[in-house]
Chain A
Amino acid sequence: MRTQGNSQPHLQRAALRHTCRNRIRRRTRLPVCTAQLTKELWLTIMLCHGGAVRAVRFNADGNYLLSCGSDKSLKLWGVSRGTLLKTYSGHGYEVLDADGSYDNSQLCSCSSDKSVILWDVASGQVIRKLRGHAGKVNCVQFNEEATVILSGSIDGTVRCWDTRSRRFEPIQVLDEAKDGISSVKVVQHELLTGSVDGRVRRYDLRMGQLHVDFINSPITCVCFSQDGQCTLSSSLDSVVRLLDKSTGEMLGEYTGHKMKSYKLDCCLSSKDTHVLSCSEDGHVYCWDLVEGSLSLKLPVGKAVVQSLSFHPTETCLLTSMEGCVQVWAAEPEETQDEVTMAT
């Protein structure tokens, strides 16, 4: 059943990958598709989280957003109106990353208090508090079916926690990294981890293989492309690199931003047309994926843009700077009058 279901998307992906590569190789010849992001993004909503926002994430369908930060809480907002829906508090120290399950029923978050917490969305209760990391936990992610939580920590391990059983030990500890894990991503049966030892590791569960790509600079963030054929990694040498997943070849290199000392996010747009990265100079840089040219330099503020997240389907961007979360959309909504909501 599963293989049947996969076969079709797989072909599509293969085709997409092909075109993607071709686009990059025949950069000069092909007419480059100009995407939505060349237009200005408009700030639509500004949310004040309180305390520095460490991560801002869309949920699976993009209707809600999660922000977490140094006020030890995790907040759930509605994207369209900017309503604060729920605050999840239970961490003992600042919350560094969060993720929502595919069915929006559960949240997971990780914190400097070395713990990972699985939340029930509706009740706001802690379903499980997973301890085991030796240091602060930098990143956390559900797998596709929300059966496993993956958390990467400064202790250099990625721990795979089981959400189904009552076991409090991780299913497996991936301790291949020689330094702290800064970013973890999961797509289907592949785990992508970025480590401070300057390597991007891809664990292929189906094949039982580990691919290590050497980047030579501490990795701050890794991403899979939407078609699942490329990996994006930003590192502290202020370069965002797009690598081919299967061979490790570099397909694109994006520079211009500033990422030298802080752990900042990068991401791809929903249609794999653009590469976005935070910058320490208070801008979000947006490059055309194929051309590698800077297509947009979005001024967010004067401080460091720490986290960003792109809407899974629409042209909508979340950024976080200091204590605020900004929602950027392609078109300003004129009908909305200013609505102020106190938290």
Chain B
Amino acid sequence: MASDSEEDFVVYGTPLEPLDEDEPLKKPIPLHEQTVKDEKGRYQRFHGAFTGGFSAGYFNTVGSKEGWTPSTFISSRQQKAENHNARPEDFMDEEDFSEHGIAPSQITTSQEFSSGCRDEVREKTRAVISQMALIPGDNLLEELITPARLSIGVELLRRMGWKEGQGIGPRVKRKLRQRQKEGGARVYSCALPHIGSEGSEDDDDEEFAPENVTFAPVDVTPVDFSPRSGVQGLGYRGLNPGLALLGHGAAEHINLFNPESETRSQLFGNAQKTSRKGRISGQAFGVGALEDNDDDVYHKDSMTRYDTVLGGEEPGDGLYGWTAPQQYNNRRDTSKALSYLGKIPEGFTVALKHTKEKMIFPPPVLPPDFRPVHGFHPSLLGTTAVSPALRQALATSRGHMVKEEPQQGGRHQLDSSQRRALLGEDVLHSSSSVMELLRPEDRQRLYNLHNDSKTTSAKCQNAIHPSGSVTRSTVVSLTQPLPQSCSTPSSSLQEDSLASWRGVQSSTHTFRPFVKNPSKQARYEQFLSRLKHGDKDAVEQSLDPGMTEWERSRERDEFVRASILYQPTSSSLSSRFTVAQHQEDDDAVEVCRDEEGAVDNKQAAVKMKMFGKLTREMFEWHPDKLLCKRFNVPDAYPGSGVVGLPKVKRDKFSVFNFLNVTESREMTAPLKPPEMRKKSRWDVSEQEELDKEDELPTSASTASPNSISDQTQAQKRKEDDKEEQQKEEEEEEEVVVSRPPMDLFKAIFASSDDDSSSSEVESEEEDTKEGEGKNDLHPLNLFNVPSTSVTSSITSCSSQKTVVFSQTSMQEEFGPSLPPPSGTDTRGGATSHYSSSTEDKQRKKNKEKKVKKKEGKHKKDKKKKKQKKHKHKEKHQKKSKEEESSDEDSEGHVSTEELLKRLKSIP
């Protein structure tokens, strides 16, 4: 853990030495010992920071106690003293030459190998010298006469065949050279790419250029990657005061955004330089009469000069990357500008690629006998078209529709018809419309008003649904003017619902939204059925005429919405999906999809020993992902979330879910013929289990499950009741035949598990002690020493009897039992290497064989008894004891243990 966590960190610096707690604490170094020494071990003393830092030497001296070491001048006839030029280095310490000294010495390129770039230091010195010289500007001359010394690079290039003015690189043929020269300067048409045009050009020039002649590449000036030193923005050069003073930039305003003006001129010699010099012009000085240039006094900057995008466009040739020289880029720009004739608006650039023209397909050619009139198919007309007259009639007659029965419910959930029914009022036929309550003149006025609004609404509907407007206008009737005008938006919904419901035949699976209000639901269903028949005014007809207008309109909206919301899926979809038969709830239970098949066939196959297809079944089984990983095996079903056998949900209360299981169990039961093998305890319990688990009335069990549970409860109750123990045992005798399921036992005796085991341990120990004690006296009575076997638990204290019984029953409930351990080895632990003398072995084997014959007999007897054990517990206990002891008496002396003992005694 610790090492892991340490590995996770990145450590900076040198770690502190680990504290050793055993070490005695270091004494602090006394002040007088805290000295500073230089590399050579000389003492250094600190001065104050303002008096020079380190002392120069010995007691503030240079090298001697006096402070300096005098140099000696010796000159003799034989050895003449050299004229010694004192250099500054002579007066400096070696520390001064070090990296942090005052004159750090470092390796530099000698002048011979240094490139042509100027040495700043040298230039400075030269400038200083020129100032001090007699004639100022003396060094100008010097600069003019450059020494005929070239840098080593140039020399090397020359030796390789380079000449001044040529580019560097492999020699190229004319074509490429041409291209490089021309670039994209001359493009004839805007749409064509460069190559095509150049190809044509090259064809023209082909005759002049023989194949084998090559040319040096064009000399390209590299981009200078001078690092930015200031805080100005990209591309900003700053004003050159020298230029300004010279009047060079004053005339044409200094352009900060055209670096060409400066750098280009510097690099290529000043070809474009204007000739005007030495003129002072500007606002401050006015404009003279002879001067003609005053237009550019105030410079106007435009935003087009600024880059709006970082990076700039890439040169298209691919010859250079983004480091391409600027003139190269610029040339391309000009070519583009040339290709477009019109004026490019600000902020726009000419597209590099031509957009693809849209394919425009011609309209289909109409046949000569085409008539632009649409007609419906006659079959459709028959079902859907309802004559406007009939519709009108229906609309007016809706007053005599269905009378709903009153619905019990909250007062507020009732509609007016229900309330009316409750109150015992009559249906108000006359007051179906508000209009009838109004005075005739008012009505007339309203009617006029309404007509106006209706026409306008019809118009707008015409615009939206030109096809459906005709039929709808017929629906509009005088008797319901207000709602109709209000429901103009909902009428389009009505259309939708009509479209979706028309022709739907099966109405079994439709959702019923108004289940709580049966009358409403009935109305809704009526509405739906009408919709299915393609009735356009289905809503109006299915509404309750007894309701008020407001209620009716509300219900109309509801119905239409509901019909759209719960509209049937279209036929193509509905054929693929089915309505879920079972909603997911607690009533469902997960059942294995593949159930093991019927057993009777298999049994027959097994009897005929026809193993193979008949007895083999194969299922899809999904191993856990992690299990696959652990087994180093790829997942057989990647992406499936299923683990184990795939399961399906089935109704919990369906008998059929469990039919398979019970069947298989039932089949296993009769397959044990008594003569085939003896009934083991296991068999009994299996049968019992079977009976317990399928509590179906069909499977007749010997004892009813209720009685069993009662008995077990009784068992529990009477566990510590001594009086009823006899009865209990009698009951148990019955129980033996049909034992309750395992879970019940667990529930009752789970806690006593440990106790019983520990008690058994004790009993075991006791017994072993007893056994050991007895062993000396009765060495033959070995089988009597119990351990965990059934018999032993029976022989243990009688108070524990019931508990022990349950425990043993638990053990024997499932599966083949374990063979009973013999008591001989409970003392255990002795290891003996058997002697391998053949004589001994032969002897022993003969004896063993004898033993075996008898033993076999004896075993059979034993087993029979065990079967009957539950019935004759007490008896058996005694009997077995007796029998075993008697058996032992007769033949115990040939046990292997005995043999071993004998062998040991043999020297």
Q: Which residues of A contact B (CB under 8 A)?
A: 2, 42-52, 54, 69-71, 81-84, 92-94, 96, 112-113, 134-136, 138, 143-145, 147-148, 154, 160, 162, 164, 171-176, 178-180, 182, 188-189, 196-199, 203-216, 218, 220, 236-238, 241, 243, 247-250, 253, 260-264, 280-283, 299, 301-304, 306, 322-324, 332-334, 336-343
Contacts and interface: CB of A to CB of B under 8 A. Distances in A.
Contacts of A92: 754, 757
A343 B787 contact: no
Main secondary structure of the interface of B (DSSP, over half): mixed
Nearest to B636: A208
Interface stretch (B65-73, B125-133, B849-857, B874-882): B849-857
A50 B617 contact: no
Contact of A322 (B618, B635, B822): B822
Interface in B587-641: 596, 599, 602-603, 605-607, 609, 611-613, 615-624, 626-628, 630-637
Contacts of B53: none
Contacts of B841: 42-43, 332
8 contacts: A93-B757, A175-B644, A210-B621, A260-B677, A263-B815, A283-B852, A302-B851, A337-B835
Interface string B671-704: 1000011101110001000000000000000000
A13 B768 CA distance: 52
Chain B interface residue number, banded: 35 or more
B833 A81 contact: yes
Contacts of B644: 172-176
A263 B818 contact: yes
Contacts of B602: 214, 216
A299 B848 contact: yes
A260 B680 contact: yes
Contacts of B637: 208
A218 B682 contact: yes
B818 A340 contact: no
A65 to B, nearest CB: 12
A7 B895 CA distance: 52
B831 A248 contact: no
A170 B870 CA distance: 38
A164 B351 CA distance: 64
Interface in B131-186: none
B279 interface: no
Given A52-B821, A263-B816, A281 B828 contact: no
Given A2-B632, A54-B818, A248 B623 contact: no
A269 B676 CA distance: 29
B821 A70 contact: yes
Contact of B626 (A69, A70, A171): A171
Interface of B: 596, 599, 602-603, 605-607, 609, 611-613, 615-624, 626-628, 630-637, 643-645, 661, 664-665, 668, 671, 676-678, 680-682, 686, 742, 746, 754, 757, 787-788, 811, 814-822, 824-836, 838, 841, 845, 848-849, 851-852, 854-856, 859, 863, 895-896, 900, 903-904
Contact of A262 (B616, B627, B677, B816): B816
Contact of A189 (B633, B681, B830): B633
A15 B852 CA distance: 43
B833 A281 contact: no
Given A143-B630, A282-B852, A182 B815 contact: yes
B815 A51 contact: no
B622 A261 contact: no
A98 to B, nearest CB: 15
A154 B822 CA distance: 24
A336 B821 CA distance: 30
Given A247-B612, A261-B816, 19 more contacts: A46-B831, A47-B831, A51-B825, A84-B831, A162-B626, A176-B644, A176-B645, A182-B815, A196-B814, A208-B623, A215-B606, A215-B615, A247-B613, A248-B613, A301-B848, A302-B848, A304-B819, A336-B836, A343-B831
